[in-house]
Amino acid sequence: MCSGRVDLAFVLRAFSNGMDGVFIGGCRLNECNYSTHGNYHALNMVLLCRKIMEHIGLNPERLRIEFMTSGEGILFAEVMSEFGNKVNKLGPLGKAEGIDQNELKSKLAEITKLVPYIKLVKKEKLASRLESPEEYDKLFTKDEIGRLFSEVISYYIDPEKCQACMTCAKRCPAEAIVGGKNLIHVIDQEKCIKCGTCFEVCPPKFRAVTEIAGAPVPPPISEEKRTIVRKSKES
Ligand code: SF4
Ligand code: SF4
């Protein structure tokens, strides 16, 4: 219904499924029927995705967004025909760029896993309304995208501080936190989508969740050592 609903993950999925090009058509900017102006979100998502594509070695011209009304059939046909020809000229995804197919798949999978994190970190820019195409290239820069991936934040529960209140496990949207009553909680880094919820909800009196940027996450505490023996019970 709305181009604003086209998530970054959808575009990455299309490329991951082997599409050589992705086209998104939206209503003209400032002519959205809703106060949300979803077409600006779509534009910003495309600008971000194009920079991400460059970062992993894909030609960003494989992704295009155009704005038009439903009455502009001829324009639509022209744009699609031009884009189709362009994608044909670019050749098969990855192969034309000299990227090994397995490597490309794993890069796209890695980035797809980070989509919630990317959207969180870039939420202000993703919500911006650019006035003119001259501003498009400045919204996201090459260095910024490099930093985005080199400084990815991981979340870690400090076993010395965790009091097994279970708040984080209940709120984690990815079921990535292993724990239970009287058990020190542990984040399954494979499942974690880096949304930061656990960091936000861990009670301030515990502050057991820490952010780790650009450094390895300590290994999880062994299962035998996870039980918390409360002082009252000990006595
Ligand atoms: S950051 Fe925390 S809440 Fe979010 S997915 Fe990872 S473990 Fe779960
Ligand atoms: S919210 Fe904090 S104290 Fe509570 S279980 Fe999670 S990490 Fe431990």
With a 6 A CB cut-off, is 226 part of the ligand 2 pocket? Answer: no
What's the full length of the chain, in residues?
Answer: 235
Tell the residue nearest (CA) to atom 6 of ligand 2: 168
Taking only the tens place, the pLDDT of each residue in 38-47 is 999 999 999 9
Pairing of the two strands 177-180 and 183-187 = antiparallel
Tokens describing residue 129:
């309304």
Q: Would you place residue 232 in the very low, low, confident or very high pLDDT band (cuts 50, 70, 90)?
A: low
CA of 147 to the centre of ligand 2 (A): 29
Residues with Cβ within 6 A of ligand 1? 155, 172, 174, 176-177, 187, 192-198
Is the pLDDT reported for residue 235 higher than 70?
no
| Ligand 1 atom nearest 187 alpha carbon | 7
Mean pLDDT on 109-114: 92
CA atoms within 13 A on the CB side of 195: 15
Taking only the tens place, the pLDDT of each residue in 190-228 is 899 898 999 999 999 999 999 998 788 999 999 999 999
Is the pLDDT reported for residue 88 higher than 90?
yes
Average pLDDT across the chain, whole number: 94
> What is the structure's pLDDT at 32?
87
Tokens describing residue 187:
């984040």
Nearest ligand, CA 221: 2
CA of 113 to the centre of ligand 2 (A): 24
Q: What is the pTM of this model?
A: 0.82
Give the chain as a 3 state SS string. CCHHHCCHHHHHHHHHCCCCCEEEEECCCCCCCCCCCHHHHHHHHHHHHHHHHHHCCCCHHHEEEEECCCCCHHHHHHHHHHHHHHHHHHCCCCCCCCCCHHHHHHHHHHHHHCHHHHHHHCHHHHCCCCCCHHHHHHHCCHHHHHHHHHCCEEEEECCCCCCCCCHHHHHCCCCCEEEECCEEEEECCCCCCCCCHHHHHCCCCCCCEEEEECCCCCCCCCHHHCECCCHHHHC
